[in-house]
Amino acid sequence: MSVVVVGIQWGDEGKGKIVDLLTERADVVVRFQGGNNAGHTLVVRGEKFIFHLIPSGILHEDKMCVIGNGVVVDPLVLTEEMDALEKQNIRVTPERLRISSRAHLILPYHRYLDQAGESKSGKKIGTTGRGIGPAYEDKVARRGIRVADFMVPEIFNQKLRDNTERANFILTRLMDAQPVPQDAFTPFNGELRERLRPFVADTSNLLYESLKEGKSVLFEGAQGAMLDVDHGTYPFVTSSNTVTGNVSCGTGVGPGAIGSVVGVLKAYTTRVGGGPFPTELHDETGQALRDKGAEYGATTGRPRRCGWFDAVAVRHAVRINGVTSIALTKLDVLEGLPEIRACVGYQLDGEKCDGVPPLSTELDRVVPVCQTMRGWTRDISGCRTWEALPDAAREYVQFIEKAVGVPVDIISVGSDREATIIKRHPFSKA
């Protein structure tokens, strides 16, 4: 039995809270793509936890968490995150966390290449500068260094020398940048290797055995469908496939193991970095959404661009992910607005536009066709049932269901774990 949780906007939809919520009925929680350019912020009983690589299921004592082969792992960030969780009294042991031996590493030269490339670019993508893109480039070019390589000093050191020499050539000769300082590699010594060694495993086989034993597995995506390298707003995307189809590639389980797919979306829309954003608000309403929704990146702290809900983009994401139910987050952020608008269609050069255009230059020019609905003023953060919501809030949720063709089964009305309405549980449906 398995459930996949994916973002179906431009990321930052609140997947961490939904994963944490569903983990209660899961035995294993798996991250299948991305790197530490993603971040989940969870509030549990008033305490804040921030995750970058480790699945948020680690907050549950009896769960196994897995970092799959599709993730690019910065060992320094990973160990820092482990230490931070330990300080918050969350045990991170090999019995609770496993890392795929086939996952690729992010190394210092990846970060230098990423930052130099972004600063030299004429049109910035909005990368976080964490080295994720260059790490995936090396993976596809077959020169990447994997966790398994790191565990064998002779193999790791030789590959590290070769790759650093190549990176420094690009930095100094092509990018007019400084080479990677030698001391950047000092932490990658025996101590770091031996610390991570007990966590390394053949996670594909681990997941296969878990599913064969009838255990419940929760697959956790990072970023969002509109940032998918194939199906998103290219080139303003991330460097991995963020969609459900990558669960198999990023974990080593067959596609037949995929059960329900929960698409997580906000009651409005945000994105970080460059790229087209048809419903973006540049006015006081956009700022109000940013302030009330605390729309600042968990990884970078960057302010997020805010706008109205975009049903066209979400329908696109629903289709490519095979979404079976929706988890709607931050509905409470809309309270107090006299009216709420939502995009139900696009027009391009005066003509109706079917779906999301493949060219970002065209998507940048579309005019959103919007529908206006009444808002509500009552505080909904204490609501725990569908019936407890104000009429206008229920009407808005029903509008979303009709606009995207998928039922809303979970509604978040606040940042805390308990501030949630569950109409139907995805694991029950699975």
Active-site choice (20, 27, 40, 104): 40
Count the helices and strands in the chain (H runs, E runs). 14, 20
Which burial class, exposed, middle or buried, applies to 239 when counting CB atoms under 10 A from its CB (0-12, 13-18, 19+)?
Answer: buried
Contact 38, 246 (CB under 8 A): no
Burial 193-230 (b: 16+ CB within 10 A, else e): beebeebbbebbebbbebbeeeebbbbbbbbbbbbbbe
Between CA 85 and CA 276 the distance in angstroms is 36
Between CA 5 and CA 13 the distance in angstroms is 11
DSSP structure class, residue 170: I
Residue of 54, 106, 55, 57 lying closest to 79 (CA atoms): 54
Q: Give the tokens for residue 258.
A: 């995929």
Pairing of strands 305-307, 72-73: unpaired
Sheet with 325-329: list strands edge to edge: 200-201, 97-100, 64-67, 28-31, 217-220, 2-7, 260-266, 325-329, 408-412, 420-422
Residue of 61, 24, 21 lying closest to 416 (CA atoms): 21
Active-site choice (12, 149, 332, 409): 12
Q: 425 an active-site residue?
A: no
Contact 59, 44 (CB under 8 A): yes
Helix or strand holding residue 338 (H, E): none
Q: Which residues contact 417 (CB under 8 A, 6 or more apart)?
A: 17, 20, 21, 42, 43, 44, 45
Between CA 98 and CA 399 the distance in angstroms is 41
Between CA 186 and CA 190 the distance in angstroms is 10
Helices (H), 309-363: 311-321, 360-363
Residue of 36, 299, 54, 56 lying closest to 199 (CA atoms): 54
Contact 308, 370 (CB under 8 A): yes
Helix or strand holding residue 219 (H, E): strand 217-220
Contact 78, 257 (CB under 8 A): no
Q: 104 an active-site residue?
A: no
- Active site amino acids: 12, 40
